[in-house]
Amino acid sequence: MSSFNFDVITLFPKAFELINNLGVLTRALDKNLINVNLHDLRQYGEGSYRQVDDKPYGGGAGMVLKPEPIYKAYESIKKSPKSKTLLMTPQGKVLMQEDLARWSSLNQIIIICGQYEGFDERVRYLADEEVSLGDYVLSGGEIPAMALINGVTRLLPGTLGAPESLLEESHQDVLLEYPQYTRPEVYKNMKVPEILLSGNHKDIKNWRQVQSLKKTLKRNNLLNKSIDKENKLIKKIISDYLKNGMPNIDELKLDKDKNFGCD
pLDDT score, position 250: 46
Q: Which amino acid is at 117?
A: E
Mean pLDDT per 10-residue interval, the chain, length 263 residues? 92 93 90 97 94 90 92 97 96 93 97 87 96 90 96 92 52 69 90 92 86 75 50 64 53 37 35
Asked if the peptide bond before residue 184 counts as cis, ω within 30 degrees of 0, the response is: yes
- Report the Cα 261 to chain-centroid distance in Å: 32
Q: Find out whether 152 and 109 touch, Cβ atoms under 8 Å.
A: yes
The CATH code that applies to domain 186-258 is 1.10.1270
Q: What residue ranges do the domains of the chain occupy?
A: 4-153, 186-258
Question: Rounded to an integer, what distance in angstroms lies between the CA atom of residue 198 and that of residue 208?
Answer: 13
| pTM beyond 0.85, yes or no | no
State which CATH number among 3.40.50.2030, 3.40.1280.10, 3.30.930.10, 3.10.620.30 fits the domain covering 4-153: 3.40.1280.10
